[in-house]
Structure 1
């Protein structure tokens, strides 16, 4: 301490106040009796009148933490070395590669922060143009703001180092299920399954179209199907790769993205390089549903051949699909985008088809559901609110077909005479 001498005590020179020990009496040096209220250290002794009247007047001296005394037999060399800070574990632990596309790889990974499995999409930045990167960033930001039960939720986005390379990533919910492409590869789907898928995908498109978003790449590979009945449907359907689909999974016609989409499913206006609207997604969905019903693609060949084929002929819709399917699929795949139904109308028509399938099944079993009597009024009322007169005709046509089916089956089973 300041002013200390070799003869100082452990708390300073004789006569000083021990640090942090107010109220302890202080003995002054006998040789300085003429001035008992002063010490060489500059500290105020207990006998100072100011201290006696106001203890807070004592100076505050930082406390000294005593050093622990080692126990007998203590060996410092045997003490383990202090642990050093380890490199933090990465948040996403990659488990397996589950797919690749034109511009990205997709992995099953574990989110160590939240303890769940996720799908991580790693973009190959080095293969993108500046315009591609800007478009990707805009669409990732847009996708993060979309919330719908029929979309694959986005959990996170950023940059990480994988295999020694820094890459842009997108983290999404891991969906347990196969793509519609895998299911079609096993053969045609049942009409009820196709109607369930069509209604759910159309609902998603109606949601995003209402927010000014166009998918531009609706195809079987981007539709995930799980064997989980939900909301009255026999299957649960999710529309994947939303907003970034143009960068992954499938053949594109130009390197700079002038034409977005996969050749087998693009609309005529896409093939012509024209501006696209929400009607583009409706056309693509129509081809997807037709493929699911038939078990094979409508337009095959090379990407150029598949793209140009739709400019010369409309899709061939088989007669054996039934009039209700021919009506709606024909409208969805019309060459003129202005006459195609919107996504809301498609979803409503698909649900009408589902109701008629259920009604037909009930009648065949000898039971007519109570709601069947109100079907005509409900559909007609919905039709009056539709902005496309053509769609109203389609739905009424479907209803008429359904009524004919019900009456015919009921008569044959003796329910009516």
Structure 2
């Protein structure tokens, strides 16, 4: 036995005579780098890998649709109307899709909805390729796409808890959120580069091909049927109502939604970015300023994801959400007080890091605090909050910015986020005390 142990030591010891140094360095790296433990699990790895492709492909369509509408109408108002037209089907079908995800095999639902998204992208490509130039057709297809996305998103998010253990949920959320945020940066940049080269219609085709990759990956996932007979019995909008009652009873879920609503409604000033670029940061070049302002938050979120090892192992999930939302509010306040573009971009990037931390732990709370038969409905509500909050913020900040001034509106909104979150944390201990 002694000889065997000596042989093993000889084979693994570093040549420099410092045994274990490389291992210690590796552990030091892992303390702050992205936690990749969930990728060791083949099923989650397939789901996550498909997201890499579709996160960029979906952004190509997200750029192509408003570009095509503007080319047809030469009106930014029509672009806004089309975006609003997609909100109603997204809201309705995300809530309904969450209920469906709790009563049928989530793998089957993912296959059906991804197929629907792929067909919709093909239809986008066909109408552009034949030069239909119909705004009505684009709006109908956009509404159809958002309906399929609403059905798909709750099932996709709820599936994660069936593929990784509870202690790896923050890491899994960080991996997924980082990819999505990377798509928000890379997708529009790629679209801007490709449109002059290959044309608008081919962007839709690339998205359709990316969704085919998703279909292949989802087809290789394990079956994920409901775990209880009660889950199979729930149907229709009665099931959606049960989801809202479940949220009202489980305070930590309700509070996690409220924390996100506070951050987004009071502290998302994107509606004021054009005015900031045209007035406050005009000396830097309006186009450069506008691009940097819109890109800074997702860039910060990506950086936060890449360094998620620094926080993804934390067990006090509720306290992490509170701290992240307060940090978001502080960064937005700093943006409102900044007169230098690069300082403003730095504050927005810091806000992106805080947003990543908040997303990771809010997602983990939703998946760990809810039972499996309710996870789909919780994710449906989450999808509505994430989609609706920023749109409400656009109205609020646009109105206040016009009345009180853009910088005052932004800084005031950031301070409101901090104040409201502190009140929420002090008045309701359920969130700040939640841990796994």
TM-score (norm 2): 0.23
TM-score (norm 1): 0.24
Q: Pick the structure with greater CA Rg.
A: 1
Higher helix share: 2
